[in-house]
Amino acid sequence: MDFKDSPKAYDASAVETDIFRKWEESGAFNPDKLADLDERYKNAEPYCIVLPPPNRTGTLHVGHAKMLAIEDLLIRFYRMRGRKAYWIPGTDHAALATQVKVEQKLKDEGMADPRKELGREQFLEKVRDFAQKSRDTIVNQCKAMGSSMDWTREKYTLDAERNKAVNATFKMMYGDGLIERGFRVVNWDPVFKTTLSDDEVEHKEGQAEFVTFTYDKNFPIQISTTRPETKFGDTAVAVHPEDERYNKYVGQTIEAVFCGKPIKVKIIADESVDREFGTGALGVTPAHSLVDADLADKHGLPMVQVIGEDGKMTAEAGADFAGLTTVEARKKIVAMLEAQGCMVKKETIAQNLLVAQRGGNPVEQLPMRQWFVRVNKKFKLRQNTLGKWKRGEEATLKELMRYAVESKQTRVLPDNFEKIYFHWIDNLRDWCISRQIWFGHQIPVWYKGEEIQVGNESPGEGWERDPDTLDTWFSSSLWTFSTLGWPDNATVDADGNLAKTGELKEYHPTAVLETGYDILFFWVARMVLMSTYALGEVPFRDTYLHGLVRDDQGRKMSKSLGNVLDPLELIPKYGTDAVRLSLVMGTAPGMDQKLSEDKIKDFRNFTNKLWNISRYVLTQANLESRILNPEIRTLADGWIMARLDEVREKVAQLIENYQFSQAGELLRDFTWGDFADWYLEIAKIEKGKDAILNHILSSLLKLWHPYMPFVTEYVWGLMGNGKQLIVSAWPDVTSHVARPASQGEEFETLRTLITDIRRLRSENGVEAAALVKVALVSNEATKKLIQENLAVVKQLARLESIEFVAAVEQGWPTAMSGATTVGLNLASGVDVAKEKDKAEKEIAALKPYIAATEAKLQNADFTGKAPEKVVNDMKSKLDEAKAKLQALEKRLETLG
């Protein structure tokens, strides 16, 4: 290709599809084919990331795009570093979310009750269709983002292999007594008619009528509630043990008639009751409040269910109320209490309403027979676990989850999320895993009367399968090992150690789990639970949590606000590389990020800059020289090579520490600020740098590849490099090229001098193109430096000549550059007042600095305690400042 004819602006959409296809076809995404592409992948150390499987509920949003950008960055970085990189793709069936979506769609299309009208199989057919379409969209989106996952090994949380893992886990946990069927209070969504886990329920701020009353005329204690309709189910009134108002009643069981329904209420004492709140007496409703259910457990209270699964009052509420909705019942009760004279007062208070996270429907708490994972139950470990427990020893699931993080076998980044994780574990209740929806893994349990059998196959005649399905997080929580061939790839050896084979052995524990902090509990914690339980090891070494992507005003992106940025609309407009950069740069781990189109535009500009840098190098430097070792001939050569070494090292360190933004900024400064703005300009003056130019361009492409895979691979291909960039090695150490150590510093002196002369010109209105004469007062070392690089200084500062003098002539504008005084020979002369003002200002800034620095250096505490380097640096800074001050004062004198 003739680069002179290449387009001035990088056209991402013209090249991206083709580049992606070549990567995919080459086998670079497939860890087992890497060795065919490059020798160094033979026996390479594996590096594995599982993709947090996106829900098959539609399309990916910009949050997913951020996740893909970060994970692809890591995978590409480690692949180039010679690791056998495996990124496992897959999607999540997202049981409830997907079913809700399809059900809603069918309702919108006019079906009154889709589940009833279609029946289980036909309904599921509709859901599967939708899920399949979502999957196709998601895969295309992932590819558009440049994700280098091994697409030949795509997984699905609801496919046969995952089902096998789910059933195996269920069976093991059932056998260990960790999964149990129980009649307990659960969160019930009356709209979608299913249970929900505690994490799927949210508290929404609202207002409620708070009524204070007695159950009947004779009842001696007043209680308060916002939900009088539940009071048919009260079996106790709890008071604080030290509350003198109620002491005398404690222990009694009082029979009362509440709105026509006889109830038996025991007066109990419990520390948890707040004496200051309401009347200080709490009506306990074990069947309809998780908190009350705990109290009931503690005090041995019976449970009376008065609200049914349809959200309506049951027969237990008495004939007058049975069949009413809770709201109807509430109104009727309030009226009845008032009529009976039992009502003490009615207030409006701020109260949080329980609502479903998905859908936002009010959630009822009801006692139901459901399946639970018991997190506080001691069980016998199946294998040696986390290096702490031996096979056969006892522990609880909570203990495993806690120890995995406490012992740093899984690192949580940023580490403040550790505290949040521990807090969640401490407050964790048993996990209700059965759902009354159809889309998901059916619970592998069979019933015959009261008999129960666990397994996938029917135990025989007369056995019926549980119609319920498992919480979607049950299958997601196995994701790190269900995708690697578990349970087939694991046995426990004679010593109690887990013996892994195949992919499980190679890749588990995975390297890092990268995801948004919003699913720390839902998913990350549950993966730790399952992996430590089933394998006795952590699921991943690092947990890296990224922040949420918000709009430019910091609001959550949502369809209703209309502030959603769709990655698939942005990619054709700005290019994938720009979109990726905008999601990785200017952010810190765990911090939310504001994203605007302007920001993406800025990074589009940068991809174009890199394109033009490449174009220039490729038109100027003889390509054949790219195989030669760069030869250092000038100061600038030594400087840029030293900078490259420094940057290469630092970037790798930063990426290893998940500091992508900082690494990227460093790279950008080097690419744009050092290489393009300085070195390339110098290369126009000092010719014959073909090998260095090619070397640095190649290095830049490699260093940028994890961030900007497309433009870098494209240019790499144009250079005629045989091997694809994606599998080429991270830049080699270049320090074999001899160079004096001082070159970096000396170059900085020159760079500062040139900038200072440019400023002087600008301040004095010298035309940009005009050549001027300067006089320099300088020490010998600097003088030598300038003389050796005369052409560069003259060209970059636009100078006609440089003269070294003892003193700058009166009447010339001057500036200080380090210890060097620069005088500009202007025909127009100098504006004396302006020059004086400038000098005075500089002096005014310098004097307090010198005073403060001198004081510091005279302080024995400082010189004694501070490291020598700090003291020496300060000394030389002081000397420089003093010389500058002296020159400025002299200057002021000559100005009169």
Partner RNA sequence: GGACGUUUAGCUCAGUUGGUUAGAGCGUUCGAUUCACAUUCGAAAGGUCGCAGGUUCGAAUCCUGCAACGUCCACCA
**CA dist list (Å): 271 to 8, 94, 290:** 76, 41, 17
User: Among 135, 609, 773, 890, which residue interacts with RNA (rule: CB under 7 A)?
Assistant: 609
Q: Which of residues 59-98 bind RNA (CB under 7 A)?
A: none
User: Among 564, 685, 874, 895, which residue interacts with RNA (rule: CB under 7 A)?
Assistant: 874
**Is there binding between residue 883 and RNA (CB under 7 A)?**
no
Q: Which of residues 724-743 bind RNA (CB under 7 A)?
A: none
Q: Which residue has the tokens 């594996």?
A: 46
Q: How far is the CB of 606 from RNA (least distance, A)?
A: 7
Report helix, strand or coil for 8. Answer: coil
Instruction: Identify the H or E element spanning 204.
Output: strand 201-213
591: CB partners within 8 A, 6+ apart: 547
Q: How far is the CB of 818 from RNA (least distance, A)?
A: 10
The region of 318-326, 557-565, 773-781, 872-880 touching RNA under the rule CB under 7 A is 872-880
Type of residue at 409: Q
Q: Which of residues 796-835 bind RNA (CB under 7 A)?
A: none
The region of 484-492, 622-630, 689-697, 767-775 touching RNA under the rule CB under 7 A is 767-775
- Residue (324 or 420) nearer to RNA, CB: 420
| Cβ pair 419, 81 in contact under 8 A | no
Q: How far is the CB of 664 from RNA (least distance, A)?
A: 10
Each as own residue / partner, the long-range contacts of residues 611-615 (CB below 8 Å, 24 or more positions apart, any chain) are: 611/9, 611/10, 611/711, 611/715, 612/8, 612/10, 613/671, 613/675, 613/676, 613/680, 613/697, 613/700, 614/697, 614/701, 614/715, 614/718, 615/3, 615/6
User: Among 291, 322, 344, 685, which residue interacts with RNA (rule: CB under 7 A)?
Assistant: 291
**Is there binding between residue 621 and RNA (CB under 7 A)?**
no
3: CB partners within 8 A, 6+ apart: 615, 618, 619, 718
- Residue (453 or 662) nearer to RNA, CB: 662
Q: How far is the CB of 896 from RNA (least distance, A)?
A: 25
Report helix, strand or coil for 254. Answer: strand
**Is there binding between residue 304 and RNA (CB under 7 A)?**
no
The region of 70-78, 92-100, 404-412, 672-680 touching RNA under the rule CB under 7 A is 672-680
Instruction: Identify the H or E element spanning 372.
Output: strand 364-373
- Residue (779 or 872) nearer to RNA, CB: 872
Q: Quote the DSSP letter at residue 368.
A: E
Helices 709-718 and 12-26: angle between axes, nearest 10 degrees: 80
- Residue (48 or 363) nearer to RNA, CB: 363
User: Among 20, 47, 507, 521, which residue interacts with RNA (rule: CB under 7 A)?
Assistant: 521
User: Among 337, 343, 881, 888, which residue interacts with RNA (rule: CB under 7 A)?
Assistant: 881
Q: Which of residues 142-201 bind RNA (CB under 7 A)?
A: 198-199
Instruction: Identify the H or E element spanning 91.
Output: strand 90-91
**Is there binding between residue 875 and RNA (CB under 7 A)?**
no
Q: Which of residues 415-474 bind RNA (CB under 7 A)?
A: 416, 419-420, 423-424, 427
- Residue (31 or 823) nearer to RNA, CB: 823
- Residue (7 or 896) nearer to RNA, CB: 7
Report helix, strand or coil for 180. Answer: strand
Type of residue at 433: I
Q: How far is the CB of 677 from RNA (least distance, A)?
A: 4
| Cβ pair 386, 536 in contact under 8 A | yes
Measuring CA to CA, which residue among 746, 819, 820 is closest to residue 776? 820
Each as own residue / partner, the long-range contacts of residues 715-719 (CB below 8 Å, 24 or more positions apart, any chain) are: 715/610, 715/611, 715/614, 715/618, 717/19, 718/1, 718/3, 718/6, 718/614, 718/618, 719/618, 719/623, 719/626, 719/694
**Is there binding between residue 613 and RNA (CB under 7 A)?**
yes
**Is there binding between residue 687 and RNA (CB under 7 A)?**
no
Q: How far is the CB of 329 from RNA (least distance, A)?
A: 15
Using CB under 7 A as the criterion, what x/- string covers residues 577-606 for binding RNA?
A: ---------xxx--xxxx---xx--x-xxx
CA distance 273 to 236: 13
Q: How far is the CB of 427 from RNA (least distance, A)?
A: 5
| Cβ pair 357, 349 in contact under 8 A | no
CA distance 778 to 106: 83
The region of 108-116, 176-184, 765-773, 825-833 touching RNA under the rule CB under 7 A is 765-773
| Cβ pair 379, 398 in contact under 8 A | no
**Is there binding between residue 659 and RNA (CB under 7 A)?**
yes
Using CB under 7 A as the criterion, what x/- string covers residues 201-240 for binding RNA?
A: -xx----x-x-------------xxxx-------------
| Cβ pair 367, 352 in contact under 8 A | no
Q: How far is the CB of 352 from RNA (least distance, A)?
A: 4
**Is there binding between residue 254 and RNA (CB under 7 A)?**
no
**Is there binding between residue 244 and RNA (CB under 7 A)?**
no
**Is there binding between residue 104 and RNA (CB under 7 A)?**
no
CA distance 744 to 638: 7
**Is there binding between residue 647 and RNA (CB under 7 A)?**
no
- Residue (226 or 489) nearer to RNA, CB: 226
The region of 35-43, 450-458, 638-646, 665-673 touching RNA under the rule CB under 7 A is 665-673
User: Among 672, 795, 854, 892, which residue interacts with RNA (rule: CB under 7 A)?
Assistant: 672
**Is there binding between residue 677 and RNA (CB under 7 A)?**
yes
**Is there binding between residue 385 and RNA (CB under 7 A)?**
no
Q: How far is the CB of 873 from RNA (least distance, A)?
A: 5
**Is there binding between residue 30 and RNA (CB under 7 A)?**
no
Q: Which residues partner with 193 through β-bridges?
A: none
Q: How far is the CB of 288 from RNA (least distance, A)?
A: 9
Helices 597-620 and 567-574: angle between axes, nearest 10 degrees: 30
**CA dist list (Å): 848 to 58, 141, 855:** 64, 59, 10
- Residue (248 or 419) nearer to RNA, CB: 419
User: Among 176, 466, 645, 665, which residue interacts with RNA (rule: CB under 7 A)?
Assistant: 665
Type of residue at 239: V
**Is there binding between residue 103 and RNA (CB under 7 A)?**
no
**Is there binding between residue 289 and RNA (CB under 7 A)?**
yes
CA distance 549 to 64: 9
User: Among 241, 392, 502, 673, which residue interacts with RNA (rule: CB under 7 A)?
Assistant: 673
601: CB partners within 8 A, 6+ apart: 574, 578
Q: Which of residues 543-582 bind RNA (CB under 7 A)?
A: 552, 554
- Residue (328 or 665) nearer to RNA, CB: 665
CA distance 47 to 52: 16
Q: Quote the DSSP letter at residue 253.
A: E
The region of 85-93, 266-274, 403-411, 782-790 touching RNA under the rule CB under 7 A is 266-274
CA distance 314 to 312: 6
Q: Which of residues 330-369 bind RNA (CB under 7 A)?
A: 349, 351-352
**Is there binding between residue 769 and RNA (CB under 7 A)?**
yes
**Is there binding between residue 795 and RNA (CB under 7 A)?**
no
- Residue (20 or 521) nearer to RNA, CB: 521
- Residue (147 or 625) nearer to RNA, CB: 625
Q: Which residues partner with 834 through β-bridges?
A: none
- Residue (339 or 768) nearer to RNA, CB: 768
Q: For the chain, what is the radius of gyration of the CA atoms? A: 36
Instruction: Identify the H or E element spanning 179.
Output: strand 179-189
- Residue (527 or 535) nearer to RNA, CB: 527
